[in-house]
Amino acid sequence: EVQLVESGGGLVQPGGSLRLSCAASGFTFSTYWMHWVRQAPGKGLVWVSRINGDGSRINYADSVKGRFTISRDNAKNTLYLQMNSLRAEDTGVYYCARSYFYVSGSFAFDIWGQGTMVSVSS
């Protein structure tokens, strides 16, 4: 079964750090772009970052640039998000998602994890 399972969320003080993990199974992890998407409580989805299959291409949303680092370990089939200098506005559920390239020439997030909650508060 194709599956993504996030972990590592929790309560952290402003200015603190947290590392999220996303364990992939059921597919050839190293051949897919992977993404982090977050959702503040009661709010909409916001894309955070992406990384290509071999880790050589990375993009970030402006709101996290310089504070968050995305990475992957293809030997462990795991995606990571290192979050530093956390702010209250970083609070929310963090989802990892697989990006699939369809024959029609389109990319879409076809597989999502269940999410892990990050709370930034003193």
Interface positions with other proteins (CB under 8 A): 35, 37, 44-47, 50, 59-62, 95, 102, 104-110, 112-115
Between 16 and 99, CB nearer to other proteins: 99
* Distance of closest approach, residue 25 Cβ to other proteins, in angstroms: 16
Two tokens at 98? 């697989």
Least Cα distance to 94 among 23, 9, 25, 4 occurs for 9
Two tokens at 20? 């999220």
* Distance of closest approach, residue 112 Cβ to other proteins, in angstroms: 4
* Distance of closest approach, residue 3 Cβ to other proteins, in angstroms: 12
User: Which is it for the CA torsion 106, 111, 116, 117, positive or negative?
Assistant: positive
What does the angle CA 37 – CA 14 – CA 87 come to, to the nearest 5 degrees?
A: 35
Between 23 and 46, CB nearer to other proteins: 46
Tell me if residue 100 falls in helix, strand or coil: strand
Between 56 and 106, CB nearer to other proteins: 106
